[in-house]
Structure 1
């Protein structure tokens, strides 16, 4: 299976790959998102270490069952060859109605077909008041005219 764009990345294709990942995660569809990863993908996500598409799909299902009104923005930090570094922020509320903003960095490595084989994420989050939210758009893909991380000061 080929997942465009494929490495080696240019600035343009790295930015495109980051936006495609953001769009997929904002769909909150674990089955669809898992298809962007190799069958034997390896992750580090906080204290969890999913391996393989099935574990990734299960992880994402648990994540989005608990993180309501999830909205994510990713931004390219750096790239070279088959690797991309990303920074991101997302907001969600829990079952009790408490809002959170999570900040993080990801390091991605892709195979020759454009599938992600390694995802290393470092994430921290903080409770926020609903009035302090910055990510507003209808659930799903972030509109092209919605500010990114830099514009939002995140």
Structure 2
């Protein structure tokens, strides 16, 4: 039997919100192994201008991401849902190795398989330099 990741589609507003919160919690763990388990073995990603296929590439991408995006903190918000798809808006803050703080804004489109694993994730992201005093997301 395939791994299941409830809540399962088709989504209601309640289950879509639970799915978004679970994703926020997992990403805030900054644990590539934990996060990768929410995706199908052959999941397709577009993250900015990077295209990934499968859990192994996702894990490596996340390892590199959190090695350079220090003190990462994320907030996600449900935007829309239907059937097996969810759209979210998000923002996260992190600092680079030189101490520069960034706020990144974006939108994601998610598509899930019948077991609640994400089969597709398409993310568009924009970055804004901020000062430490402008941070909104506490660690």
Normalised by the length of structure 1, the TM-score is 0.88
1:47 Cα deviation (Å)? 1.0
What residue number does 1:112 align with?
114
What residue number does 1:147 align with?
none
What residue number does 2:125 align with?
123
Find the residue that maps to 1:8 and give its secondary structure: coil
What residue number does 1:48 align with?
50
What residue number does 2:14 align with?
12
Find the residue that maps to 2:46 and give its secondary structure: strand
Aligned-residue CA RMSD in angstroms? 0.4
CA distance in 2 between partners of 1:76 and 1:58 (Å): 27
List alignment gaps of at least 5 residues for structure 2: none
List, as ranges, runs of 4+ consecutive aligned residues in structure 1 with deviation greater than 6 Å.
Answer: none
CA distance in 1 between partners of 2:132 and 2:52 (Å): 31
Higher strand share: 2
What residue number does 2:135 align with?
133
1:57 to 56, 59, 75: 59
List alignment gaps of at least 5 residues for structure 1: 138-154
Find the residue that maps to 2:50 and give its secondary structure: coil
Find the residue that maps to 1:58 and give its secondary structure: helix
Find the residue that maps to 2:76 and give its secondary structure: strand
CA distance in 2 between partners of 1:57 and 1:10 (Å): 29
1:103-127 deviation per Cα after TM superposition (whole angstroms, max 9, x unaligned):
0000000000000000000000010
Find the residue that maps to 2:109 and give its secondary structure: strand
Find the residue that maps to 2:105 and give its secondary structure: strand
> How many aligned residue pairs are there?
137
Normalised by the length of structure 2, the TM-score is 0.98
